[in-house]
């Protein structure tokens, strides 16, 4: 909700109750970093209106990558996926941000990702043998559920590394 001051200027208050606020963990993957897409990808989330609450660039240790992708342990591509994940994570927070961020990112397989999405615009790997094989180089990661958004954020960011702030544009983004 936003209140109008006596001067006609909107004063941002809480735009959503705390239960409504989701966290998602967005990671620019090593191919995105190597290809100079960090700014472009962050910019897309900023332009959408999401609030950045944490940002770091670092070489991901193997144990962290394994914990992050533990649900994919049984997949044949798991070892190469772990080898590939090494740098550049960012976190965004906002209302409905998980599903919305997945839309901005596009399908896992770059061939199926629509133009206009991050993967649709910037990823070329389309599968060596079939549509769903070898789709690893897809530039960016986004949590697939609010629960995983919380889990992954806690995994990649320590307490005190996230910044709580009120964006000036908040009342212009939501009623
Ligand atoms: P998403 O990242 O879209 O949530 P998944 O959770 O299914 O997709 O997979 C995690 C990541 O593992 C993908 O983004 C991609 O980098 C890699 N990956 C998925 N499927 C394959 C595959 N068949 N071959 C190689 N890498 C894959």
- pLDDT tens digits, 121-131: 999 887 665 55
Average pLDDT of every residue of the chain = 85
Name beta bridge partners: 139.
none
> To test the ligand 1 pocket, which listed residue (108, 114, 117, 131) has its Cβ within 8 A of the most ligand atoms?
108
pLDDT over 80 (residue 88)? no
| The pLDDT of residue 175 | 80
Burial class (CB in 10 A: 0-12, 13-18, 19+), 95: middle
Which parts of the chain fold into alpha helices (H)? Answer: 30-34, 38-48, 62-68, 78-84, 97-105, 118-122, 146-156, 170-173
> Is-catalytic flag, 13?
no
User: Ligand 1 in contact with 169 (CB < 6 A)?
Assistant: no
* Across 17-26, 63-72, 122-131, 150-159, least confident range: 122-131
- Distance separating alpha carbons of residues 100 and 74, to the nearest angstrom: 28
- Taken in order of first residue, the domains within the chain and their CATH numbers are 19-131 (3.30.70.141)
Quote ipTM for the complex.
Answer: 0.95
- Distance separating alpha carbons of residues 56 and 149, to the nearest angstrom: 16
Residues 170 and 12 sit within 8 Å (Cβ to Cβ): yes
Q: Is 47 annotated as a binding residue?
A: no
Residues 102 and 148 sit within 8 Å (Cβ to Cβ): no
Position in ligand 1 atom list of the atom nearest CA 132: 23
- Ligand 1 centroid–CA 2 distance in Å is 40
Taking only the tens place, the pLDDT of each residue in 21-33 is 899 999 999 999 9
Residues 125 and 136 sit within 8 Å (Cβ to Cβ): yes
User: Ligand 1 in contact with 125 (CB < 6 A)?
Assistant: no
pLDDT over 90 (residue 138)? yes
């Amino acid at each position: 909700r936003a209140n109008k001051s006596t001067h006609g200027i909107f004063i941002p208050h809480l735009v959503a109750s705390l239960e409504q606020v989701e966290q998602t963990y967005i990671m620019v993957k090593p191919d995105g970093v190597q290809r100079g897409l960090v700014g472009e990808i962050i910019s897309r989330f900023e332009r959408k209106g999401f609030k950045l609450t944490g940002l770091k660039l670092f070489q991901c240790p193997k144990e962290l990558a394994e914990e992050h992708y533990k649900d994919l342990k049984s997949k044949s591509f798991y070892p190469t996926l772990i080898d590939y994940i090494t740098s550049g994570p960012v976190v965004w927070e906002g209302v409905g941000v998980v599903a919305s961020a997945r839309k901005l990112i596009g399908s896992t397989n770059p061939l199926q990702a629509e133009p206009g999405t991050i993967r649709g615009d910037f990823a070329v790997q389309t599968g060596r043998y079939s549509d769903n094989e070898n789709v690893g180089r897809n530039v960016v990661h986004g949590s697939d559920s609010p629960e995983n958004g919380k889990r992954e954020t806690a995994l990649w960011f320590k307490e005190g590394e996230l910044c709580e702030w009120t964006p000036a544009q908040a009342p212009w983004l939501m009623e």
